[in-house]
Amino acid sequence: MSILTNKNTRLIVQGITGKQGSFHAELCEKYGTNIVAGISPGKEGTFFKNIPIYNTVKRAVKEKKANASIILVPAPYAIDAIMEAIDAGLDFVVCITEGIPIQDTMRIKAYLKNKKTKLIGPNSPGLISPGDKAKIGIMPAHIYRNGNIGVISRSGTLTYEVVAELSKNGFGQSTCIGIGGDPIIGTNFIDCLQMFEKDKETSTIVMIGEIGGNAEEKAAEYIKKHITKPVIAYICGLTAPPEKQMGHAGAIISKGKGTAEEKIKKLKNAGIEVANTIEEISAKIKT
């Protein structure tokens, strides 16, 4: 089983005729994702491969009963693309685009209130449900295996390393979600934890964090009170130089808060298993 996406998801690709959009649309479809339409204003009536292209998301929803979208458009146009998807009433939207100004993501966060749409990202690698053959993102699909480990991560590349190690050790995944590394995102650790807790096929949750912000600390408090399934956490950045910004826009340490040490302490105090290395994650699942 999986959360959010499965073989019944009817996906549209916003930006399908662009370089990134066409490249990743083809890979997602090859994996088995049910792409029903592409969006590219001014190109309605044409096709990408066998996928019909429409001018608007609303028309694609009406014609093709689409219920989800992946956004692969440049940052200056991303906010309009997300709002259009929300207005069309999609169940969820995955925004791959990075470099979106924080003022724009603040507007989107406010715009999402009282709307049915869930936003994954921005600056997300996407999500994948191996057993249900649904990939909505840019991840290397060959490393994923069907199984019952739910994975939530702030880092795309780190997710790939963890998943490759899990798969090598025989631990397949139910769904893997990259929530995005920006300071403001649509769906956070707690949102994903809630969904995995309800998913009958997910037996264990792996949470991958990094320095900066307080998302992991908030998740630790929530896990202690509400999650009954085993959670194994891994936090990268123990060797990050002090006072130096690392990687993602969200990886910013302020006044000693947001360090890897601080996060690990909070997680352990909440009774959560914390792996010191990526290889140790599989060992902790075995036990």
φ, ψ of residue 197 to 5 degrees: the values are: -60, -35
The confidence score (pLDDT) of residue 236 equals 87
The confidence score (pLDDT) of residue 2 equals 85
DSSP structure class, residue 240: P
Condensed to tens digits (0 to 9), the pLDDT of residues 53-102 reads 999 999 999 999 999 999 999 999 999 999 999 999 999 999 999 999 99
The predicted model scores a pTM of 0.93
In this structure, the number of other CB atoms found within 10 A of the CB of residue 76 comes to 12
CA distance 53 to 179: 28
Inform me whether the pLDDT recorded for 152 exceeds 70: yes
Is 139-287 the same fold as 1-123? Answer: yes
Question: Quick one: 1-123 is in which CATH superfamily?
Answer: NAD(P)-binding Rossmann-like Domain (3.40.50.720)
The confidence score (pLDDT) of residue 213 equals 86
Which tokens is 140 given? 């290397």
The confidence score (pLDDT) of residue 259 equals 86
Q: For the ranges 11-20, 39-48, 224-233, 237-246, which has the lowest average pLDDT?
A: 237-246
Condensed to tens digits (0 to 9), the pLDDT of residues 223-252 reads 999 999 999 999 987 766 665 555 555 555
Which residues are the active-site residues? Answer: 248
Question: Quick one: 139-287 is in which CATH superfamily?
Answer: Succinyl-CoA synthetase domains (3.40.50.261)
Which tokens is 41 given? 């204003």
Q: Are 11 and 29 in contact (CB under 8 A)?
A: no
Residue ranges per structural domain of the chain = 1-123, 139-287
- Per-residue pLDDT band at 38 (split at 50, 70, 90): very high
